[in-house]
Amino acid sequence: MTPDAVGPHGRWGVTGALVILTAPIIVLYGWLLLASFSVTITGLVPHGLTLANWRFLWQTLPNEANAWVAAGNSLTFAVTVAVFEVLVGAMAAYALSRLTFPGRGLFLGSTIVLHSFPSVTLLIAIFLILRALGLYDRLAGVILVKLALDLPLGIWIMKGFFDGVPWDVEMAALVDGYSRIRVWWKVMLPLIRPGLFAFAIFAFLSGWNEFLLPYVLLPSQGSQTLSVLMASLSGEERFADYGLVTALSVFYILPAVAVFALTQRYLLRIFSGGVKG
C-alpha cells in the first residue's frame, strides 16, 4: 500500500492506533532508562538522580565478570556468527539453488529437520562434544554451535535469494568469460547484497541476544557474554540490585537499538526476496 492510498484522516488514524499499541513498550523502556539513573525505586516511581547504578562501566562488580569484557565477548560472538553465517550460508545456498549433485534433496530436507529441533534437546550432546574437542568454555566453541544451529534456516532464506536471480544473468557472465566462482562473487553476491545485508543484521542481533548457549557452554567469568552477566545479576538470590540491573539492561539494549535504527530500512528487504531491482 502506498502512502497515498490512505487519506490524511486515515493516516492520522493509523498513526494514532500505532501510538496507542506501542505505548506500553515505549513507557516500559522510558521507565527503564529513568530508573537506571535513580537512587531508589519505590513501587514504580524512581527517586533521586545518581550515576551509581552505572558503576559497572568503571569498575568490575564483586564476584561478577567485567561488563566491558562481557560486552566484548558478546560483540565478538555476534559479529563472528553474522559474518560466517552469511559467508558459509551464501555458498551453501548458491550450491543448493544452482547445482545438481547427489544427495541434494536429502540435504535440503535435512536442513529443515535440523532447524525444527529445539536446541535445548541437544545441549547435553553439544556439551559432551565440545568438551571432547577441547572447545568447552571457549568462545570459538559456542560460535561453532550457534552457527550449526542457525545456518539451516539461513541457508534456506539465502537459497530463496539466489532462486530469485534469473539463470540468464548467470549464464551471460559465464559467456562473458568468468569462471563459476567469479560469477558467484562478481554477479550473484552483488545482486542479492541487500538481502544478505539484512540477513547479516538479523544474524548479528540473534547472536547479541543469545543467552542459552553462552550460559551453558561458557561458565567462567572471563568468557561470559553480556546476556549471561545480566542473568547472573538479576538472578541473585541474596539481593538483586534493581538499579544496577536496569542500568546494565540499558547498556545491553543500546547497541542492538543502534544497529536496528541505523539499518532498519535495509531489514525490510529480507521479505522482498532480497534482490535489488
Instruction: Output DSSP code: residue 238.
Output: S
Contact call for residue 181 and other proteins (CB under 8 A) = no
Which listed residue (83, 172, 181, 240) binds other proteins by CB under 8 A? Answer: 172
Q: Report yes or no: 269 and 194 within 8 Å, Cβ to Cβ.
A: yes
Instruction: Output DSSP code: residue 240.
Output: -
Alpha carbon 79 to chain centroid distance? 9
Q: How far is the CB of 165 from other proteins (least distance, A)?
A: 9
Instruction: Output DSSP code: residue 47.
Output: E
Q: Which helix (H) or strand (E) holds 40?
A: strand 40-42
Quote the CA–CA distance of 97 and 156 in Å, as a whole number. Answer: 9
How many residues are given for the chain?
Answer: 277
Angle, alpha carbons 59-61-67 (nearest 5°): 70
Which listed residue (27, 171, 212, 257) binds other proteins by CB under 8 A? Answer: 171
Using CB under 8 A, which of the segments 61-69, 113-121, 153-161, 176-184 binds other proteins?
176-184
Q: Where are the alpha helices (DSSP H) in 117-225?
A: 123-133, 139-163, 167-175, 180-183, 189-191, 193-209, 212-217
First-to-last alpha carbon distance for the chain, in angstroms, is 18
Contact call for residue 173 and other proteins (CB under 8 A) = yes
Contact call for residue 166 and other proteins (CB under 8 A) = yes
List the interface residues with other proteins, window 190-229 (CB under 8 A): 190-191, 193
Quote the CA–CA distance of 118 and 207 in Å, as a whole number. Answer: 17
Can you read off the three cell numbers belonging to residue 168?
Answer: 540468464
Contact call for residue 82 and other proteins (CB under 8 A) = no
Residue count, binding to other proteins (CB under 8 A): 18
Q: How far is the CB of 86 from other proteins (least distance, A)?
A: 18
Q: Which is nearer to other proteins, 59 or 100 (CB)?
A: 100
Which listed residue (1, 25, 120, 175) binds other proteins by CB under 8 A? Answer: 175
Contact call for residue 178 and other proteins (CB under 8 A) = yes
Using CB under 8 A, which of the segments 69-77, 165-173, 206-214, 240-248 binds other proteins?
165-173
Contact call for residue 29 and other proteins (CB under 8 A) = no
Binding site for other proteins (CB under 8 A): 166, 168-169, 171-179, 187, 190-191, 193, 276-277
